[in-house]
Chain A
């Protein structure tokens, strides 16, 4: 299936070729990630099942109530997650070499999440232009852009361009 996951997670820069910028990366076995994610999902699906069971029964005893369909979904998901965890455990004990997931530049990713969360949360108080320019400049720094001209021109262009399209051309209200 053609999803957007195509190729950007590809090649992190080769540290040997970039003497000025050290690329930090962590390698985690995929099975361990699956297991941790599976346990979190078991908890979430369990809570979902508990909440679904608390929903009131229908007036007509033969009808399907508000909680019945969610309960079917919860049970199906719990089974699938449980099997995924079991599959992961079997792989941990049987296989010596595990497929690894590379988490490159983890600090930059965390900073990017904080930038997105920070600017996003205060979007209405910062206003469209300042929020757009600030978000794009900070995010470009997080991705690794260091050229001053790019750091000024792209955010300015984006802020003014998006403002012109959304507010002036399409008539969308922005704070």
Chain B
């Protein structure tokens, strides 16, 4: 195992790998600082630039961007009360009041260092859990994989923002898209009137369209941005170490919470920061300070949302199941380089997962330095005019789509999914389940069919293995959870009405 860790760190002997890490970190900070551009969009936009790069350089760059975008989201949250990412909303609750009190530098320092601690601690947890999990998953059969994919999809559909019914519709759309192309077992073309569709929908152009081009249309709708007024920053380097000593329990607890929540498919960084913030407030000696400029609140929120980055990588690396839209996009990037994430990755290509661990650890000092040294410049990024951002995102989308296959077909796919993504977001249909279903669809179908071939068409195979049974139960409960919650709310309402009626009598 330690040989493998050394293998991971040795990848940094290639000068392009550390360069990739720094470039990824810089771009991540920039993307995170701009409200509306999150890590998902950032990773999707960066993929076209990695086509011709070495796989290790590409992966390190993408991982650094993913982590740095979560760091960067806090900057605009603290300075202009406009969270760069959804996960930084809780940071703004205490960060911006501190800025109004003239302590913007302190808030930024706490957020950047807490983010670093969150990433560092959670990567240790990732290392300790992903490796044994991948060894355990080596014994999984087709039924277990089918059930695992179903659990991932069910949790994402029910836990993602908005109505669970819309999550289910989104999942259906994604699964239907995944069936387009030649059938892997029989070679029959399905829903493909044109040979371009025989290989199915190309993942990167679909991602660029759904996540990035739809965002461009939202920018057009929002119109030119008004100039934000950045607050003066002082004291960014004047936070004493003992402050972090006082925060150590919050930081440790939030890192663990963030990691655990990040592992659960569909939960992600924003839920991690909300839960961690609530727990920190409950356990704090000064809960009245929360919302008015509590450094405990900032530390809890930032360490948790960054720890969730490592958490989301655990199911991706160990099982090949993406737990968040960003990791689903990451699967697309890995596949472009011929890398199939999953339990076999640790034995066939150990340099990939161990370089990811090393990159996460090495990224901590790099990102803390970049964050502290360049805080005032990252804050200016939020001032870049919206028309320029829209033009940049749109051109990268189209050029990136063209470059993916050197043909016009991916460009048309990107354009179509850009408009579809815009309409879906207007109707409040979440995009995350579509992407996850598109990625997991083939795995789900292949393992379902393989299991039935093994059992000669007998469905008993799905409930004779305890592991499959447990996973299928979780999936069923997860699908049923919204209905149970709805019935419970109705019962509570009825009980409440009856109580009022009795009181009146």
Contacts and interface: CB of A to CB of B under 8 A. Distances in A.
Given A83-B165, A113-B419, A165-B49, A7 B83 contact: yes
A93 interface: no
Given A7-B35, A109-B221, A120-B415, A64 B448 contact: yes
B7 to A, nearest CB: 27
Interface residues of A, number: 87
Interface SS of chain A: helix
Contact of A69 (B213, B426, B445, B456): B445
A45 B173 CA distance: 9
B452 interface: yes
B387 A150 contact: yes
B437 to A, nearest CB: 9
Interface string B409-427: 0011011001100110111
Nearest to A68: B449
B119 to A, nearest CB: 15
Contacts of A77: 169, 172-173, 175-176
Contacts of B141: none
Contacts of B38: 2-4, 6
B480 interface: no
A18 to B, nearest CB: 9
Given A62-B452, A124-B408, A165-B49, A1 B387 contact: no
Contact size range, B:
35 or more
A89 interface: no
A12 B225 CA distance: 9
A144 B223 contact: yes
A166 B326 CA distance: 23
Interface in B1-51: 35-41, 48-49, 51
B53 to A, nearest CB: 7
Interface string B70-88: 0000000000001111110
Interface stretch (B107-115, B363-371, B388-396): B388-396
A11 interface: yes
Interface in B296-339: 305, 324-326
B224 A145 contact: yes
A172 B412 contact: no
A117 B415 contact: yes
Interface stretch (B277-285, B373-381, B428-436): B428-436
A13 B225 CA distance: 8
A92 interface: no
Contacts of B396: 162
A171 B51 CA distance: 10
A25 B406 CA distance: 39
Interface of A: 1-13, 21, 23, 30, 33-34, 37, 41, 45, 48, 51-52, 55-56, 58, 60-67, 69-70, 73-74, 76-77, 80-81, 83-84, 87, 101, 103-105, 108-109, 112-113, 116-117, 119-121, 123-124, 128, 131-132, 135-137, 139-145, 150, 154-155, 158-159, 162, 165-166, 170-174
14 contacts: A2-B85, A4-B212, A45-B172, A61-B457, A108-B220, A112-B216, A116-B213, A141-B387, A143-B219, A145-B387, A154-B388, A166-B48, A166-B403, A174-B399
Given A113-B217, A135-B394, 12 more contacts: A1-B267, A2-B325, A12-B223, A33-B427, A56-B188, A60-B453, A61-B457, A64-B452, A77-B175, A87-B163, A116-B415, A159-B395
